[in-house]
Amino acid sequence: MLVDPEKTTAMLKPIGKSSSLKSWEGDQWEIGGGTTWGWFSYDPELNLVYYGTGNPSTWNPSQRPGDNKYSMTIMARDADTGMAKWLYQMTPHDEWDYDGINEMILVDKKFNGKDRKLLVRFDRNGFGYTLDRVTGELLVAEKFDPAVNWATHVDMETGVPQVVAKDSTGQNGEDVDTKGICPAALGSKDQQPATYSPRTGLFYVPTNHVCMNYEPFEVSYTAGQPYVGATLSMFPAPDSHGGLGNFIAWDAEKGEIVWSLPEPLSVWSGALATGGGVVFYGTLEGYLKAVDEKTGKELYRFKTPSGIIGNVNTYMHDGKQYIAVLSGIGGWAGIGMAAGLEGDTDGLGAVGAYRKLSDYTQLGGVLTVFALPN
């Protein structure tokens, strides 16, 4: 990977020589490195591209000792040369499939009274991060789902999450079913994008409120074949509202939830904040919802033909504004319904949590467009 041992930094310090190779055992890095299948953001003033890397393989952490750098990492690279300016690994030695590819939201705003160029992201591991996108300095790392239990907190000096021993699938070992880990492998938020409103300074985040049991086992690598090595089952977060999701407003400076709307199913759509003070999101039951940006009060809902995993968007045409959303259940949460799976561990564990999805919606793909009044 393209780094400069003396100039590329992690937690504001040069990464040094062979920093990634030292964190793998043998040649596992050749078949276990994190992929980059998610979102990219670009700052034209800094000429930096930001993206996240995915989980290391296998899902059995005992087969890949070490921090497995630089999987699960936010990377800032020069757009012309590709050279990494800074790196931040969110989940060293991932033991739960907390794939680190979620979107980076770039905002320029005050932080502790000073103008800063910020990068905000909501990771699958359940922590909401605020970083200085110029230097990679870690400013905030707090849980954005109250169910998160696999780590107590992130050490702000090292940037490393403090793992709870009973929830460590690596410490518990192969063929041991570690129970009650929160979040589940699909994360407190998967690839569904959050949104930001400069009106309120808040971020609006579609979240999953799901936990899991996780049993790793030894697996051999065969090119072109799935390379997983774990059996999972998922379920709603216990001791909560009983649903599988929340839609939240987040203060990225304080690292706090401002308001939260419980949902019976995960919120798997992208969110949209508007200049009119209305925030839109979709639900797996198929509702497009409009809520007040300050309070979360529901203002409007419309039932689309299928569950919504698409991103709500707005556009202008001939002087008129429209809101559009594509409905059509699918993705990880919808795999049981789409593929006719029924076992608790099917669909990499998702079927157990989302088995009742068919009670709420049906398959199909429809684009629904709304015209705003003049």
- Whether the pLDDT of residue 260 is over 90: the answer is yes
Is 90 exceeded by the pLDDT of residue 276?
A: yes
- Choose among 74, 106, 102: nearest CA to 90: 74
Residue in 53, 57, 52 with CA at minimum distance from that of residue 32:
57
pLDDT category of residue 327 using cuts at 50, 70 and 90: very high
CATH topology assigned to domain 9-267: Methanol Dehydrogenase; Chain A (2.140.10)
What is the C-alpha separation between 47 and 207, in angstroms, rounded? 31
Q: For the residues 34-41, what does the mean pLDDT come to? A: 92
Q: According to the model, what pLDDT value does residue 374 have?
A: 82
Residue of 303, 299, 258 lying closest to 277 (CA atoms): 299
User: CA 328, CA 330: separation in Å to the nearest integer?
Assistant: 6
What 3 state SS string does the chain have? CCCCCCCCEECCEECCCCCCHHHCCCCCHHHHCCCCCCCEEEECCCCEEEEECCCCCCCCHHHCCCCCCCCCEEEEEECCCCCEEEEEECCCCCCCCCCCCCCCEEEEEEECCEEEEEEEEECCCCEEEEEECCCCCEEEEEECCCCCCCEEEECCCCCCEEECHHHCHHHHCCCCCEEEECCCCCCCCCCCCCEEECCCCEEEEEEECEEEEEEECCCCCCCCCCCCCEEEEEEECCCCCCCCEEEEEEECCCCEEEEEEEECCCCCCECEECCCCEEEEECCCCEEEEEECCCCCEEEEEECCCCCCCECEEEEECCEEEEEEEECCCCCCCHHHHHCCCCCCCHHHHHHHHHHHHHCCCCCCEEEEEECCC
- Name residue, tokens 């799976």: 341
Digit-coded pLDDT (tens) for 134-190: 999 999 999 999 999 999 999 999 999 999 999 999 999 999 999 999 999 999 999
What is the pLDDT, as a whole number, of residue 119? 99
pLDDT at 337: 92
Of the candidates 43, 94, 97, 167, the residue annotated as catalytic is 97
Q: State what percent of residues in the chain have pLDDT above 90.
A: 94
| Domain boundaries, given as residue ranges, for the chain | 9-267
Cα–Cα distance for residue pair 170/213, rounded to 1 Å? 14
Averaged pLDDT, 100-122: 97
Whole-number pLDDT of residue 1? 81
**Side-chain half-sphere exposure of 19, counting CA atoms within 13 A:** 22
d(CA 162, CA 123): 16
51 contacts 42 by C-beta, under 8 angstroms: no
What tokens appear for 99 in the block? 């794939």
Q: How far apart are CA 319 and CA 121, in angstroms?
A: 34
| Chain centre distance of CA 65 | 24
User: And the tokens for 172?
Assistant: 């518990």
pLDDT for residue 138: 99
Rounded mean pLDDT of 265-270?
97
What is the average per-residue pLDDT within 281-289? 98
User: What is the rounded average pLDDT of the residues 262-283?
Assistant: 98
- The answer on pLDDT for 33 being more than 90 is no
Q: Taking all residues of the chain, what is their mean pLDDT, rounded to a whole number?
A: 96
How far apart CA 179 and CA 107 sit, in angstroms, is 38
Q: Please state, in angstroms and rounded to a whole number, the distance separating the CA atoms of residues 120 and 124.
A: 13
The residue whose two tokens read 């079927």 is: 351
Q: What is the pLDDT of residue 288?
A: 99
Top pLDDT among 333 and 251 is at 251
- Whole-number pLDDT of residue 73: 98
Confidence of residue 38 (pLDDT cuts 50, 70, 90): confident
4 among known catalytic residues? no
Q: Beta partners for 137?
A: none
The answer to whether the CB of 299 falls within 8 A of the CB of 290 is yes
